[in-house]
């Protein structure tokens, strides 16, 4: 089961009127009115921060928009993930755990790729292929492999030695990236909502897009061209 999508999140917050307006504009191929566009972007930011895990969404709705209430639920889920990693990935749980805990750090870099040398001095992909597969297969993370030549076919030119690792839920990425004390007073969330936080927002948006594409059943690939 995938996480709650943006439309379902909007319905949970009783934003059906805004949804209908967005759908109507899409069908007519016209731009949203600036006022409604601002409302839609505000709602989308809420969605990225709360995430799509049902427990987090319910806590946010029932608390009338308390980000810290949803954060409590998300941290419980992250702890369950850590327990699953210890139990299910016994042979290589330290490698799985190292990748999992470093997802925010990797995504905050310019290229957003996993750099195994930052995890272990002898880190090579041949030793991390199974841990990466486990994270992807468990739906904890969404893996995105480099395509060497996008003109021929993504899967045909898949390069498994270069991979990005996105969190399966963007809301969980936020809670994993920041410690509990940073979030508890909601100032951090407000700063993100207002666009006043000094962080790589591309990390959040890119993770959200990867989450949406995966929900549609798409495989994730990226292509890099150096000039």
- Write the pLDDT tens digit of every residue in 61-71: 999 998 889 99
User: pLDDT above 70 covers what percent of the chain?
Assistant: 88
pLDDT at residue 50 in the model: 93
- Write the pLDDT tens digit of every residue in 162-195: 889 999 999 999 999 887 666 655 677 777 777 6
Give whole-number Cα distances, 64 to 33, 61, 110, in Å.
27, 5, 36
Q: What is the DSSP string of the chain?
A: -PPP-HHHHHHHTT-HHHHHHHHHHHHHT-PPPHHHHHHHHHHHHHHHHH-S-HHHHHHHHHTTS-HHHHHHHHHHHHHHHHHHHHHHTGGGHHHHHHHHHTHHHHHTSSS----GGGT-TT--HHHHHHHHHHHHHTTSEEEEEEES-TTT-TGGGEEEEEEEEEESSHHHHHHHHS-HHHHTTSHHHHHHHTT-S-S-HHHHHHHHHHHHHHHTTPPEEE-----
pLDDT at residue 123 in the model: 59
Stronger pLDDT, 210 or 125, i.e. the higher one: 210
pLDDT at residue 172 in the model: 95
- Top mean-pLDDT range of 121-125, 159-163, 203-207: 203-207
pLDDT at residue 183 in the model: 61
Both tokens of 162, joined, read: 């270069």
User: pLDDT above 90 covers what percent of the chain?
Assistant: 46
Question: Quick one: pLDDT band at residue 11, thresholds 50, 70, 90?
Answer: very high
- The mean predicted confidence, pLDDT, of the chain is 86
Cα dihedral across residues 115, 118, 122, 127: positive or negative? negative
Cα gap 209→204, rounded to integer Å: 9
Cα gap 24→17, rounded to integer Å: 11
Give me the phi and psi of 109, to 5 degrees please: -80, 170
- Write the pLDDT tens digit of every residue in 24-68: 999 999 999 999 999 999 999 899 999 999 999 999 999 999 888
Stronger pLDDT, 5 or 89, i.e. the higher one: 5
């Amino acid at each position: 089961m995938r996480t709650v999508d943006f439309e379902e999140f909007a319905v949970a917050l009783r934003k059906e009127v805004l949804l209908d307006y967005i759908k109507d504009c899409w069908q007519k191929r016209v731009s949203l009115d600036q006022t409604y566009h601002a409302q839609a972007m505000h709602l989308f930011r809420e969605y990225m921060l709360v995430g799509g895990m049902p427990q987090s969404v319910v806590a946010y709705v029932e608390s009338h928009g308390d980000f810290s209430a949803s954060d409590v639920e998300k941290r419980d889920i992250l702890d369950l993930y850590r327990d699953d990693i210890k139990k299910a990935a016994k042979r290589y749980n330290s490698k799985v755990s190292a990748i999992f805990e470093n997802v925010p750090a990797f995504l905050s870099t310019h290229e957003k790729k996993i750099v195994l040398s930052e995890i272990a001095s002898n880190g090579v992909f041949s030793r991390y292929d199974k841990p990466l597969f486990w994270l992807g297969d468990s739906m904890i993370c969404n893996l995105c492999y480099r395509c060497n030549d996008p003109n021929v076919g993504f899967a045909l030119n898949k390069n498994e030695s270069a991979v990005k690792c996105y969190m399966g839920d963007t809301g969980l990425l936020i809670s994993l990236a920041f410690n509990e004390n940073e979030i508890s007073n909601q100032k951090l969330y407000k700063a993100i909502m207002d666009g006043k936080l000094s962080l790589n927002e591309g990390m959040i948006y890119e993770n959200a897009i990867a989450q949406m594409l995966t929900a549609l059943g798409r495989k994730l690939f990226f292509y890099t061209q150096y000039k």
